[in-house]
Amino acid sequence: MLLRLPDPYDFELSTGRFRAFGTDLASRLVDGALYRVVGGREVRIAPCPGGVDVEPLDDETRPVVLHLLGAPFDLPPFYAWAEQDPIIAPVVGRLRGFRPPLQPDPFEALITSITAQQISLHTAVAIRNRLVERLGTPVGEAWSFPTRERVAAAGERMLVEVGFTRKKSEYAVGLARSDLDLGGLAALDDDEVRTRITALPGLGPWTAEWFLARHLARPHAWPAGDLALRKAAESLYGVAVTELGARLHPFQNLSAHYLLTGWLTRP
């Protein structure tokens, strides 16, 4: 069934993240379609004129798919703003229709960041897939991501067995067993979200900023601690990434996604 997405939208560009660093079992691309488990059901998402074809499409799957495909981002104002910046303008032009995917589940978003701390994204995806295979559930072409309860019950030793370092296993299990209301973070302002997340062991500013960027789609999120973004800022703008954030106001989040994607896919 057709699910319309805000214009512009390019399915191939927007889902490239799910193939760039190896197969993502929780958001799996197979034969040109994206598969995701929602509420215990397999959901197939395929490109079609006007948006995407989603099966099944109902009140449960619709908001998850819209979030996953980056529908909360308002691209036209960003594009109009970017035209005035001679550095980012050609990057935006080359990636027109790229709608950064968002992580629908807050626990998955934070575990994803923990696995990616200080290692390559290829390695992080491989470790995360092993976690998914061990504690998730296969449903058709994709797997459900492990629940907070299953990670809490599994404990640190099991996470080490699938490739987490001992420290990262402590961080992940600590998050799972904490009393942090992950669903309630969406109701808080950016600074309070940062405060709540960084209060947990092993979850620092980099993790909090990517949570704001890739789960909550907050416009001013700026993951200045990201190594790839730092390289892109220094190479393209010739300034430190900490200085660049203010220059890209009020579109720091979309700018970060476009700069990173443009940098990683540069000709």
Predicted TM-score (pTM) of the model is 0.96
* Whether residues 191 and 132 fall in one domain: yes
Asked if 223 and 210 count as a contact pair (C-beta separation under 8 A), the reply is: yes
* Whether residues 129 and 38 fall in one domain: no
Radius of gyration, CA atoms only, the chain: 18
pLDDT in the model for residue 265: 79
Q: What total number of domains does the chain contain?
A: 2
* Whether residues 67 and 112 fall in one domain: no
Residue 115 within any structural domain of the chain: yes
Residue 199 within any structural domain of the chain: yes
* Whether residues 29 and 126 fall in one domain: no
Residue 174 within any structural domain of the chain: yes
Question: What are the pLDDT digits (tens) for 101-114?
Answer: 999 999 999 999 99
Q: Which domain holds residue 29?
A: 2-73
Tokens of 266: 């540069």
pLDDT band at 264 (very low <50, low <70, confident <90, very high): confident
Is residue 85's pLDDT more than 80?
yes
Question: What are the pLDDT digits (tens) for 126-184?
Answer: 999 999 999 999 999 999 999 999 999 999 999 999 999 999 999 999 999 999 999 99
Residue 266 within any structural domain of the chain: no
CATH label of the domain that carries residue 165: 1.10.340.30
Question: What are the pLDDT digits (tens) for 23-75?
Answer: 999 999 999 999 999 999 999 999 999 899 999 999 999 999 999 999 999 99
Q: Of 49, 70, 48, which is closest to residue 258 (Cα–Cα)?
A: 70
pLDDT in the model for residue 128: 98
Q: In what order do the strands lie in the sheet with 51-55?
A: 2-4, 51-55, 41-48, 33-38, 27-30
Residue 220 within any structural domain of the chain: no
Query: How far apart (Å, rounded) are the C-alpha atoms in residues 69 and 156?
Result: 32
pLDDT in the model for residue 266: 77
pLDDT in the model for residue 263: 82
Residue 222 within any structural domain of the chain: no
Q: Of 263, 213, 212, 206, which is closest to residue 234 (Cα–Cα)?
A: 263
Q: Which residues contact 49 (CB under 8 A, 6 or more apart)?
A: none
* Whether residues 112 and 206 fall in one domain: yes
* Whether residues 67 and 124 fall in one domain: no
- Helices 121-135, 148-161: crossing angle, 10 deg rounding: 120
* Whether residues 54 and 115 fall in one domain: no
Residue 258: φ, ψ to 5°: -70, -40
